[in-house]
């Protein structure tokens, strides 16, 4: 069977798709390298042409934007809600039940991790699954989290892993799943969403909560030797001023005072949350694991995926800092992200910048994403400044009612690079 999601990924799938559309069959290619050579010309001529784009657009969006195509009706679906306490058992069933053979709504690794989320209660919903004719056709993941305002802590649910199988898209299933999420009567938030998801959320009444800015250092357009040279130049000038040591988890001493600031609303990441992420990653490196379900869109396996936690200062220091970074390689692109950071003395942020740059040099990374708290450090070097651009990401929200804690936060909240599930993937 042709997976339409793969259509955009390789000329082989495109050719396979087109040949099936023409009611002809071809045998599947035995060797991808050979096939890439064989269809290289095809790729240049067809896939880079406007014809390919129009086919691809048609697959992405069977209707014209904003107007329902004539004859396209909402498909009847049954939606099932899975609670945190049932998530692992449900994921085990997904791996075995043919109803999920084409579309798996979760995988065991992710379910096991989410079931021990320190912000989640056993009764919280973790997943909404849509079925049509007894088969899973889409899902909307929910990640319980916290919001801190001047009035204290309250609960939110992050919308994550939103997916409808390609052949069922544009038939209202996404909208049904979002409506179902609204009916749970919790404060909903979403970040890092695709254009299609943003459209579906906005159509359901979601509005802007705020925009998060970060700084992206990029050498991705440079060939390997130039990347190496850039890192050699930058790292050659770095001077260590504080002792930094890798740790498996962040200690409570290192993070003393982590969440003191309550003046500005934010989605707090307490030490327990960070340590949960460090000990229960739901994405792993390829040598460590194989996918546990065949048809899960939000793959849990990368060529490289690693969290690294560090504490700044010696173990006897009264006030220490701590930070976490992630290293990812996907489709040949290596990226370092500086995630959570706690620095009682703002000067310590430079320690995190130095470690991130050195790790990027070791891995010859294509990009590093820095939080804005490192702007001072980045602006201290002309080369770093020149290779770094400001990037922003949107966060959408849907307060459960006009009085809810989330309702008053739009435009006032301090957003973070680790909000929602961003740090996990």
Ligand X SMILES: CC(C)(COP(=O)(O)OP(=O)(O)OC[C@H]1O[C@@H](n2cnc3c(N)ncnc32)[C@H](O)[C@@H]1OP(=O)(O)O)[C@@H](O)C(=O)NCCC(=O)NCCS
Q: Which is nearer to ligand X, 111 or 165 (CB)?
A: 165
Min dist CB 177 to ligand X, Å, is 7
Q: Cβ 182 to ligand X, closest distance in Å?
A: 13
The tokens describing 119, both together, are 């912000």
Nearer to ligand X, 52 or 163 (CB): 163
Q: Are 360 and 154 in contact (CB under 8 A)?
A: no
Which C-beta is closer to ligand X: that of 193 or that of 350?
193
Nearer to ligand X, 56 or 251 (CB): 56
Reference 201, options 193, 209, 212, 210; nearest CA is: 193
User: What is the 8-class DSSP label of residue 338?
Assistant: E
Rounded to the nearest 10 degrees, what angle do helices 349-363 and 224-236 cross at?
150
Considering only CA atoms, which of 149, 211, 212, 204 is closest in space to residue 182?
204
- For the CB of residue 44, give the shortest distance to ligand X in the complex, in Å: 26
Identify the helix (H) or strand (E) that includes residue 6: helix 4-7
Residue (163 or 323) nearer to ligand X, CB:
163
Q: Are 214 and 415 in contact (CB under 8 A)?
A: no
Query: How open is the CA angle 159-164-165, to the nearest 5 degrees?
Result: 150
Q: Hey, which bits of 56-151 come out as E strands?
A: 78-83, 125-132, 135-149
Based on CB atoms, which residue is closest to ligand X, 193 or 324?
193
Nearer to ligand X (CB atom), residue 170 or residue 341: 170
Name the residue whose CB lies closest to ligand X. 174
Q: Which is nearer to ligand X, 162 or 323 (CB)?
A: 162
Q: What is the rounded CA–CA span in Å between residue 165 and residue 65?
A: 19
Instruction: Tell me the C-alpha distance between 286 and 301, whole Å.
Output: 6
The structure tokens listed for 388 are 């770094």
171 vs 361, beta carbon nearer ligand X = 171
CB atoms within 10 A of CB 226: 11
List, in order, residues 6 or more apart from 327 with CB less than 8 Å away.
Answer: 304, 305, 306, 308, 334, 335, 336, 359, 363, 365
CB of 327 to ligand X, least distance (A): 23
Smallest gap from residue 191 Cβ to ligand X (A): 9
- Say whether 35 sits in a helix, a strand or coil: helix
Minimum CB separation from ligand X for residue 159, in Å?
8
Phi then psi dihedrals of residue 171, to 5 deg: -115, 15
Least distance from ligand X to the Cβ atom of residue 140, Å: 8
Closest separation between CB of residue 371 and ligand X, Å? 21
**Which chain residues interact with ligand X by CB under 6 A?**
60-61, 162-164, 169-175, 193-197, 199-200, 203
Distance (Å, whole) CA 221 – CA 113: 36
Task: Kindly state the smallest distance separating residue 399's Cβ from ligand X, in Å.
Answer: 20
Distances (CA, A) of 269 to 117, 182, 334, 407: 12, 24, 25, 20
- Report the half-sphere exposure of 364 (CA within 13 A, side-chain side): 11
Radius of gyration of the chain (CA): 23
> 61 vs 414, which CB is nearer to ligand X?
61
- What is the residue-wise DSSP string for 289-317? ---SSTT-SS-SEESEEEEEEEEES-TT-
109 versus 200: smaller Cβ distance to ligand X:
200
Q: How far is the CB of 78 from ligand X (least distance, A)?
A: 15
Q: How far is the CB of 97 from ligand X (least distance, A)?
A: 21
């Amino acid at each position: 069977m042709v997976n339409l999601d793969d259509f955009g990924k390789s000329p082989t799938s495109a050719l396979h798709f087109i040949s099936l559309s023409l009611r002809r069959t071809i045998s599947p290619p035995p060797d991808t390298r050979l096939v890439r050579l064989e269809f290289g010309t095809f790729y240049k001529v067809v896939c880079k042409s406007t014809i390919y784009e129009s086919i691809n657009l048609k697959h992405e969006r069977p209707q014209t934007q904003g107007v329902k195509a004539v004859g396209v009706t909402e498909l009847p679906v049954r939606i099932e809600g899975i609670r945190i306490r049932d998530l692992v058992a449900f994921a085990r069933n997904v791996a075995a039940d043919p109803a999920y053979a084409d579309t798996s709504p979760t995988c065991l690794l992710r379910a096991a991790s989410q079931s021990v989320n320190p912000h989640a209660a056993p009764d919280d919903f973790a997943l909404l699954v849509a079925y049509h004719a007894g088969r899973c056709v889409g899902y909307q993941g929910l990640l319980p989290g916290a919001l801190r305002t001047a009035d204290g802590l309250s609960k939110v649910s992050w919308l994550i892993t939103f997916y409808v199988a390609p052949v069922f898209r544009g038939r209202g299933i996404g909208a049904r799943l979002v409506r179902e999420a609204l009916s749970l009567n919790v404060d909903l938030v979403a970040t890092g969403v695709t254009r299609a998801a943003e459209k579906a959320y906005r159509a359901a009444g979601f509005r802007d909560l705020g925009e998060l800015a970060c700084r992206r250092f990029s050498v991705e357009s440079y060939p390997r030797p130039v990347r190496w040279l850039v890192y050699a130049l930058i790292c050659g000038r770095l001077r260590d001023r504080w002792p930094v040591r890798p740790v498996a988890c962040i200690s409570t001493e290192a993070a003393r005072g982590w969440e003191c600031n309550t003046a500005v609303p934010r989605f707090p990441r307490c030490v327990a949350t960070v340590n949960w992420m460090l000990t229960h990653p739901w994405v792993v490196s390829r040598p460590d694991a194989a996918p546990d379900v065949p048809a899960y869109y939000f793959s849990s396996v990368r060529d490289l995926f690693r969290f690294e936690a560090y504490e700044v200062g010696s173990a006897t220091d009264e006030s220490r800092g701590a930070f976490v970074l992630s290293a990812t390689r996907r489709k040949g692109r290596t990226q370092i992200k500086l995630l959570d950071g706690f620095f009682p003395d703002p000067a310590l942020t430079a320690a995190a910048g130095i470690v991130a740059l050195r790790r990027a040099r070791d891995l010859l990374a294509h990009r590093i994403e820095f939080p804005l708290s490192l702007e001072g450090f980045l602006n201290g070097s002309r080369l770093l400044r020149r290779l770094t651009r400001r990037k922003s990401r949107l966060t959408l929200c849907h307060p459960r009612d006009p009085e809810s804690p989330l309702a008053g936060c739009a435009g006032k909240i301090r957003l973070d690079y680790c909000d929602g599930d961003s740090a996990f993937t």
